[in-house]
Amino acid sequence: MLPAPVVSVVVPTRNRCDAVVAALTGLATQTHPSFEIIVVDDGSIDDTPEALTRFAAEHPQLAVSIIRNDPAIGANPSRNRGIATARGDIVAFIDDDAVPEPAWLERLAAGLGNGASDRIGAVTGLTLSAAPRNAWERTLKGTQRVHVTRNGTATRLVGTNMAVWRTLLEQFPLDEDRAGVADDMAVSGRSDEEGLYVLLRAAGYAPRVVGDAVVHHDHPHSAGSFLRQAFRGGRSAARLVHKYRLRPRLDLLPFLLGSATGVVALGLWLTVRRPLAAATGVDAAWLFIVPLVFLVAGAGAIAYNDLARKRKSPWETLVTFPLLLVYYHVRLAGYVVETLRRWTGSRS
């Protein structure tokens, strides 16, 4: 039997002292026989630096390395710094607000097969969110579930629960071209790992889901973080489309067409409804049929996504639906803003 591969676990963190200690405590229980932990502190100004030093001193049996960014550079640049110092054959990633189950690392490593030649390349596990505490968290429930195609390929990777062969990460570094540094890395825009997924698929790799590699994710959301995640997610989606020459995001198309035709319909309704009614007796409200059709199509896509992919119950889908509409329209705004920036040559 071949020896278990050495795994380097990269944990980016920023201003989440208690959460990152909980994540590291979970890593201390791992059953995988050979691994190191690389914590990248992205310019924390709370007690995180002291807590990390204390954790390393209290766990001498663990190989813990601490890297400090000053000033902060963002989530993916932090991950890339961790990758650059990794000694393992495999690099695993977990966020500072997630706690792994004891067999997490062992199962991710086993899921990768015997090497990059197996053409798997990367694996992503099951991320279970904490019970929602408010409407914002109920709306986002299930967003980290990963759909699997008929041939078993994962449709995406989840940055808080994935592992990749180090040689592939050296070939395909994580994207660093997103604007801004988020105080909260979990709201950095999602899409942190989507560029890597695109490159792996283009190179012929078929990432897999390891459903029994479980982490428990507890990220509090407020109205502000909910809206920031939507807007930044839209911007990140537009960047990916532009950078990798992908097709436009079809999930946002019904809302884009609905909004555009709705504006046109409203303008016509305000200008022609009275002359039209006086001349023909016809109510100009029919102008809103086309935007309504697009919005109904978008609403149907949302419902399918929540029921089939996020595994929400019909009741959960129904009660969160108004906020889902808000989320997708804010996401659309981010997508349009970033697309216009790209078209005009701006990168701010």
- Both tokens of 98, joined, read 């997630």
The pLDDT value given to residue 188? 45
Angle (nearest 5°) at CA 194 between 131 and 153: 85
Question: What pLDDT is recorded for position 145?
Answer: 83
252-257's contacts with Cβ under 8 Å and 24+ in sequence apart are 252/328, 252/331, 252/332, 252/335, 254/294, 254/295, 254/297, 254/298, 254/301, 255/294, 255/295, 255/298, 255/328, 255/329, 255/332, 256/332, 256/336, 257/291, 257/294
Residue 126 has a pLDDT of: 94
Of 257, 251, 253, the closest CA to residue 292 belongs to 257
Rounded CA-CA distance 328/254 in Å is 10
pLDDT (tens digit per residue) in 195-217: 999 999 999 999 999 999 999 99
On whether the CB atoms of residues 160 and 249 are closer than 8 A, the answer is no
Q: What residues of the chain score a pLDDT lower than 70?
A: 1-2, 115-117, 178-191, 250-251, 258, 262, 265, 268-269, 272-274, 276-287, 346-348
Q: How many residues can be counted in the chain?
A: 348
Residue 189's pLDDT is what? 46
Residue 172's SS3 state is coil
All structural domains of the chain: 7-222 (3.90.550.10), 250-344 (no CATH)
The answer to whether the beta carbons of residues 39 and 66 sit under 8 Å apart is: yes
Residue pair 82/42 in contact by the 8 Å Cβ criterion: no
Q: What is the pLDDT of residue 343?
A: 86
Question: Between the CA atoms of 121, 217, 70 and 227, what dihedral angle is there, to the nearest 10 degrees?
Answer: 100
Q: Which of 321, 293, 294 shows the shortest CA–CA distance to 306? A: 321
Beta strands in the chain (DSSP E): 7-13, 35-42, 63-69, 90-93, 98-100, 122-129, 162-165, 208-217
**pTM here?**
0.85
The answer to whether 138 touches 184, Cβ cutoff 8 Å, is no
